[in-house]
Amino acid sequence: MHRTRVSLRFAVTFAGLLIALSVQPARAVTITSLQDNFDTLDNAKWSLINADFEAGTSTIGANANGQLTLTSTSVTSFWGGAVLQSVNTFASDKPTLISVDRVSQTGSGTAHRSALQIRQADGTYMMLSQNIGEGGWQTNANVAGTGANIASLDALDNIADQRKMTFAYIPLGGNNAQIVSMVDGFVVDSDTFAGNWENGTDFNVRVAGLSRQAGDTVTATFDNVNAKVMNLVAPIVTATPSAGAFIVSGNDLLTNVTPSIVGTLAGQEGTSANPAILTNGLFGTADAIDGAQNVAIGNNTIALTYALDLSSAPLGYDITEIAAFTGWQDGGRTDQDYIVLLSFVDDPGSFFPIANIDANTGDNSLKVSLANGGAVMASGVHSVRFQFLGQENGHVGYRELDVIGTATVVPEPASALLGAMGMGLLALRRKRIA
């Protein structure tokens, strides 16, 4: 199922060019993490190859001195360029978070591209890219063909500033996988590979600078690759409708925490535009709009990110429950639709989606809980993000957001949760790829 996306606006940074890569052959092994800030180009981690996306060929280069710069001048058409591919590989049967900072992109000619890719040895791949001159922000899945436009990023199509490009890779067993694409930590697309992503075959991580046709050029600058296996447990999602009020927590990890907000809380129908209402420990009056204790969230326009207080928990938090509450004067504005994402203390800018909530009720109130049967659901958590999707009848009355947990004492490896992720974590189906 395709879910609509949030428009993003963030700060611009730029960095310069860097030292030459000398490619040395290396033997691939399966790894669980890969980090690189590109102080130098490490031949044990990376190989520079000419793009094999389409038939185009290019003169290519790669340099590093604190950041990575890939260059390409196309010799033949189409979409040749410089690809930096990880020497080692990641297992396709484990959920994995892959991110890179795309710092800048410049070029000349008809079109040029900067991209994050993951690719199996048989050529099956997923790519998230910005294409200046042809198509803007897109995702491409499998061997070739037209990219799928990311409509929520259309306003940014020709603005090549700094963006964090991220994949959340989720194995679905057999030859199936789901890959969630994110820009600046927000979900912008999701693709399900049905029958052609072999969970028994490893994949490589790639970053690329590509130029479209003969004579075109590109210079793409990247930084801070961070790829890691996430030992995740899919939370149990419980939806509880009611005609009355719920008891909410007055002393949880979000109490008195001010979120960062993408979008505008508009206060529809006399509701509050103050996000503090969502974490004040009060549900308010049931069977009423109750504007004093109600925040209306509109369609695909709002994301709330709560950075947890780490002053007494430098290793982050063990999370046991995340709950959201809605309430209205009738059942017409109480359904819950959003994505819950977590970031971790070892990489707080990268988010992994743990649940896509699509909960419906005809009652006046609704509680949706994510939990792991009372056990720890996530360890080392830095931030919790609620990315709201299409809302019932245009806006829904949210009453409270609760996150229950305690300080992490011993960090788990790879920002881990305890156990293994269940298959089909998210129902963010835009298309099936057969």
Give the end of a domain, one of 168, 199, 229.
229
Clarify whether residues 68 and 176 are in a common domain: yes
314 compared with 419, residue with greater pLDDT: 314
Q: Which residues form the domain of 305?
A: 236-415
Q: What is the pLDDT of residue 21?
A: 34
Clarify whether residues 173 and 258 are in a common domain: no
CA angle 295/163/3 to nearest 5° reads 45
- Residue 155: phi and psi, rounded to 5, are -65, -15
- Structural domain includes residue 1: no
Clarify whether residues 182 and 283 are in a common domain: no
Q: What is the pLDDT of residue 233?
A: 84
**Which of 26-30, 214-218, 231-235 holds the top average pLDDT?**
214-218
Tell me the mean pLDDT in the region 90-118: 98
Taking the mean position of all CA atoms in its chain, how far away is CA 332? 30
- Residues whose CB is less than 8 angstroms from the CB of residue 395 and which lie 6 or more positions away in sequence, other chains included: 266, 268, 269, 296, 297, 298, 299, 333
Label the pairing between strands 80-86 and 203-211.
antiparallel
24 compared with 175, residue with greater pLDDT: 175
Clarify whether residues 60 and 193 are in a common domain: yes
Count: domains in the chain? 2
Quickly count: other Cβ atoms within 10 Å of residue 287's Cβ.
15
Task: Indicate whether 287 pLDDT > 50.
Answer: yes
Clarify whether residues 210 and 291 are in a common domain: no
Tell me the mean pLDDT in the region 149-155: 97
Clarify whether residues 303 and 168 are in a common domain: no
Each residue's pLDDT tens digit, 373-418: 999 999 999 999 999 999 999 999 999 999 999 999 986 554 444 3
Contact at 8 Å (CB) between 217 and 112? yes
Clarify whether residues 270 and 355 are in a common domain: yes
Quickly count: other Cβ atoms within 10 Å of residue 145's Cβ.
9
The encoded tokens of residue 126 equal 């997923």
What residue ranges in 77-216 does DSSP mark as E strands?
Answer: 80-86, 89-90, 96-108, 112-120, 125-132, 136-141, 148-149, 163-171, 176-183, 186-194, 203-211
- Structural domain includes residue 139: yes
5 compared with 93, residue with greater pLDDT: 93
Q: Distance between CA 355 and CA 232 in Å, rounded?
A: 12
- Structural domain includes residue 14: no
pLDDT-derived band at 219 (thresholds 50, 70, 90) equals very high
Nearest partner of 72 among 42, 114, 43, 41, judged by Cα: 114
Residue % of the chain over a pLDDT of 90 = 83
Tell me the mean pLDDT in the region 421-430: 46
Q: Distance between CA 236 and CA 401 in Å, rounded?
A: 17
Taking phi over 0 as left and psi of -120 to 50 as alpha, with beta for the rest, 33 belongs to beta
Clarify whether residues 218 and 275 are in a common domain: no
Taken as a whole, the chain contains a residue count of 434
Q: What is the pLDDT of residue 119?
A: 97
5 compared with 105, residue with greater pLDDT: 105
10 compared with 307, residue with greater pLDDT: 307
Clarify whether residues 104 and 183 are in a common domain: yes
Q: What is the pLDDT of residue 142?
A: 78
Taking phi over 0 as left and psi of -120 to 50 as alpha, with beta for the rest, 50 belongs to beta
Give the end of a domain, one of 200, 229, 258.
229
- Structural domain includes residue 397: yes
Q: Distance between CA 236 and CA 425 in Å, rounded?
A: 10
Tell me the mean pLDDT in the region 134-149: 85
Contact at 8 Å (CB) between 389 and 338? yes
- Structural domain includes residue 422: no
Clarify whether residues 411 and 289 are in a common domain: yes
pTM for the model: 0.89
Q: What is the pLDDT of residue 145?
A: 60
Clarify whether residues 152 and 253 are in a common domain: no
Q: What is the pLDDT of residue 420?
A: 46
